[in-house]
Amino acid sequence: MDVRLDYGEGHTEERIGIETLQSIKERCFIPVIFYTAVPHLVRDLENQVIRVVEKTQGLECLLEVIRETLNTRLPSINRALVRHLKKVQREYMWDFVSVHWEELADRSDPTTLAYLLARRLALSLSESGVCELIQDLGGSPEKTGEKVHPVKYYIMPPVVNKPLAGDLYRGSVDGQDGYWVLLTPTCDIWQDKAERILLAFCRPLEDSKEYRKWLDRLPDPSKDVDNEFRKLLADGQSERYMFLPGAIKLPHLIVDFQQLVSVPYEQLTQMERVASLDSPFAGKLLTRFVRYYGRQGAPDLDVDVITELLRNQLCCTEAATAKEE
């Protein structure tokens, strides 16, 4: 679309295209291409889904930008998602609500139906729903099982306005810049009991000795080196660490529970809240943290004493048996 509308006889509306874009944003999602003689009015809006083509560049350039936009798959992904949600809503209303309307209508709580439908939509976007979406787009969904794709670790960007335990932040704390994960219990934050919050530093994977050893020995690292690196990624090492896989703009990170810092709650507003760890990974993070600091130390048992006692008992038993014979 154009930025301005020309009524002829020298009368134009300079910003009608920008206003139309705002109207589109309020109603639906669709990539927009401005084909205009005044590109300077919308250059600051340009990104991967809002493109700007100057009319002097010609129709060939416009067609190329259209092809590039379609190749992003954003339009098809959006259509598939809308189709999926409409299908779930339609089937739920016909197959459940219409059948059980008398029971639902008798309830005094007007939010029941809305809650049930919202939960149904949310669950439809879990494992089976995502697989259905991927197939609709012509892709091959991952195999179900115990292993998950890295993207499933995160909600990005965070949905809830208030901070949650397991939120990932980027910023500077005590002069150290990088990524931090929030460990303060969510209930304390939401009940305004957290005057200070606890953060753990997340080191880049590239800083770990296991990664450097593995990298130095590529393309054929030894079995021991490869196993040590895999143990780090699979959280098979000390509970001091937890690996967070990279996804989209997040790099691969290692949470270090020995690098903790307590800062005023207000300092969170000065940091970029990048993502929230999704369930069950947020719970895994907190459980690992509690286990690491809650473990009870005790002296090692002197097994030499035990083995010596067992030997002596065995010798005495054998001697007694021989004497009886």
Is 172 within 8 Å of 288 (Cβ atoms)?
Answer: no
Q: What is the pLDDT of residue 5?
A: 66
For 34, the enclosing helix (H) or strand (E) is strand 32-36
Q: What is the pLDDT of residue 11?
A: 43
Share of the chain above pLDDT 70, in %: 89
What does the pLDDT look like over 76-113, one tens digit per residue?
Answer: 888 888 888 888 888 888 888 888 777 766 665 667 77
Name all domains of the chain by residue range, CATH numbers in brackets.
5-72 (no CATH), 75-147 (no CATH), 154-294 (2.30.30.110)
**Average pLDDT estimate for 281-299:** 87
Res. 273: pLDDT tops 50:
yes
Choose among 67, 125, 126, 124: nearest CA to 92: 124
What does the pLDDT look like over 215-228, one tens digit per residue?
Answer: 999 999 999 999 99
Beta strand ranges found along 37-162 (DSSP E) = 50-54, 154-155
Spatial neighbors of 26 by CB under 8 A, at least 6 apart, are none
Q: Cis omega before residue 299 (within 30°)?
A: no
Choose among 270, 172, 262, 251: nearest CA to 211: 251
Backbone phi, psi, residue 137, to 5°:
-90, 5
Percentage helix, strand, coil for the chain under 3-state DSSP, each rounded to 5: 50, 20, 30
d(CA 274, CA 169): 5
**pTM (2 d.p.):** 0.68
**Average pLDDT estimate for 16-42:** 89
Torsion of CA 188, 189, 195, 199, to 10 degrees: 100
Of residues 146 and 103, the one with the higher pLDDT is 103
Res. 7: pLDDT tops 70:
no
